[in-house]
Amino acid sequence: MKTVLITGCSSGFGLDTARHFLAQGWQVVATMRTPGANVLPPSERLRVLPLDVTDPTSIRAAVEAAGPIDVLVNNAGFGAAAPIELAPLDVVRRLFETNTFGTLAVAQAVLPQMRERRDGVIVNVTSSVTLKSLPLVGAYRASKAAANALTETMALELAPLGVRVHIVLPGRAPETRFGQNARERMTGFAHPAYADYAGKVLGQMMDATGPTTRSKDVAEAVWRAATDASAPLRIPAGADAVAWAAEAA
């Protein structure tokens, strides 16, 4: 029976991905910064562990407790929006610490066992905002684009060692807590130079009508990456992400 370790399982994409792998009969190690309410169905195949992807000690403890890992899903991340001029540098640093360095650090912690076995899969969940230039999310987009660049290089380096690497690119998911949290971190929109424009763009970003991404779409894309050896390096997840990927091709 194979084991998957998933980061950021408290809600949204990570939670539904954990549920999907459980439903398929896998051993699931679901991690989150602060395990709280039981959001996953009880199962002998489920372990819930604390993991802060910005804390090396936390990463090391979680990986050691997990044991052999067949698939790593780097899903933990957060979003924030602001005009570049007004983006607080402390928030920008946190975006990179979580979305970029956190992804890299967890992969580095898991890779030695995969390399030694010459077998394993790493799936990094980034974002479809990396496919096109968009206003207000420049810092977030940069953190995810950096994660993409690292992942692309990992794929080249690890293929000869028997380890597959994939990028899952979700689109807009207005119904998830990720979107709600991102809205809470928005700054600078009251500034007179940006208020009108930012308000219009923000309304478009948060519009739940039209093509969007469901957590289920991301779970299915991660499952494909984990189980289909012929899956491409980049897998868009959600109707809007698929459309953007087609435009960018």
Distance, CA of 208 to CA of 210 (rounded, Å): 7
Is 140 an active-site residue? yes
Distance, CA of 32 to CA of 4 (rounded, Å): 14
Residue at 4: amino acid letter: V
Order of strands across the sheet that contains 46-50: 46-50, 27-32, 3-6, 71-74, 120-125, 163-170, 234-237
Phi, psi of 125 (to 5 degrees): -90, 115
Distance, CA of 150 to CA of 131 (rounded, Å): 16
One of 132, 140, 194, 197 is an active-site residue; which one?
140
Is 194 an active-site residue? no
SS percent in the chain: helix, strand, coil, step 5: 50, 15, 35
Active site residues per annotation: 140, 144
